[in-house]
Each structure stands twice: as C-alpha cells, then as structure tokens.
C-alpha cells in the first residue's frame, strides 16, 4: 500500500525538499545564520522526508535535472538548493503539481462514477415504474371484469337468479 501512495506523494516530498533547501540557501545568502552549513546531508534529508536513499534518489532526480538542487561535497556530503530552488519554492511549483494530480484523479473518478450512478438510478426508477404500472394494469383488468359482469347481469337477468323472482306462486301454491 505504501508503494502505491509513494507515487502520489513524490511531488509533495519534492516540494518539502525544495522548501527546506531554499530556506537554507536564503539564510546563507542573507547571512542570517553564519554557523549553518550550506545544504543538508543525505541522512538528514532522508530523516526529514521520511524516506530511504532509493526514494530520495527518485525525489531528487527531476530536481537535479532541472538544476534546482545540486550535490555537494564541500562542507558536507549531501544536497544544496540553487537559485532555481528558491524560484520553485516561491512559485510552489511542485505543490501545485501535487494538487493538480489529485484534482485530475478526482475529476477522472467522478467522470466514471457519475454516469454509472445516473445509469443505476435510471434503471431503478424504470423497474419501480414498471412494477407500479403492472399493479395498475391488474387493478384496471379487475375493474373491467367487474364492469363486464355487471353489464351481463343487466342485459340477461334470466341467466342469473334474480332476488325478486320466485319459482312458485305463493298465493296459489302451485
């Protein structure tokens, strides 16, 4: 699971590294902390970014290609930020890419899920409507049958025993 999320967090970790190195570079240029060394050791960077050396290499490869960071061996063995690192930090270059990636993932997921949900709701509505239509049809059939029976009784009273008609004459007793 960690490997899967590593891909998503690489730009976020690049942003954190750029911020760390650009602050160090700025403090050196402005002579704020003269005792501070230029850059950070690999171990210190790995500890702050919570990654191993292999992951650090993946993080720094693009930064090195863009010449935003360079490897140092002068005061310590590690990394230091260039002027381009300060520019990337100021513009939040990698943080924006990180958020854009998540925005695109959310957009892609919603473009898939919304039509599926709409189709599911439509199917449920059609099935429910079909069931209620079948119930109404059954009710109408029963009403038509009742009406036909009543009509038949009115047209042919001899077929059914009429409640008033008697077979025998009560006066003559025949």
Name the one residue in this structure whose structure tokens are 């006066």: 171
Q: What is the pLDDT of residues 140-167, one digit of tens each?
A: 899 999 998 888 888 886 655 555 555 5
What residue spans define the domains of the chain?
Answer: 2-91, 92-157
Length of the chain: 174
Average pLDDT, rounded, for the chain: 84
Backbone phi, psi, residue 162, to 5°: -80, 140
Q: What is the DSSP letter of 170?
A: T
- Residue 165, CA distances (Å) to 78, 119, 151 in order: 117, 64, 19
- How confident is residue 33, by pLDDT bands cut at 50, 70 and 90? low
Q: What is the pLDDT of residues 51-86, one digit of tens each?
A: 999 999 999 999 999 999 998 887 778 898 999 999
Note the CATH number of domain 2-91.
1.10.10.10
* Mean pLDDT across 97-123: 93
């Amino acid at each position: 699971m960690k490997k899967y999320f590593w891909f998503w967090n690489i730009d976020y970790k690049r942003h954190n590294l750029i911020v760390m190195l650009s602050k160090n570079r700025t403090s050196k240029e402005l002579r704020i902390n003269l005792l501070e060394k230029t850059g950070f050791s690999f171990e210190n960077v790995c500890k702050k970014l919570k990654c191993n050396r292999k992951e650090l290499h993946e993080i720094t490869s693009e930064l090195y290609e863009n010449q935003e960071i360079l490897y140092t061996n002068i005061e310590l063995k590690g990394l230091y930020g260039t002027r381009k690192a300060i520019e990337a930090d100021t513009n939040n270059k990698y943080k924006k890419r990180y958020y854009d990636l998540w925005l695109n993932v959310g957009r892609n997921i919603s473009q898939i899920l919304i039509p599926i949900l709409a189709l599911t709701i439509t199917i449920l509505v059609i099935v429910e409507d079909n069931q209620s239509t079948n119930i109404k049809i059954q009710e109408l059939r029963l009403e038509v049958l009742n009406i036909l029976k009543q009509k038949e009784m009115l047209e042919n009273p001899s077929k059914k025993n009429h409640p008033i008609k008697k077979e025998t004459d009560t006066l003559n007793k025949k």
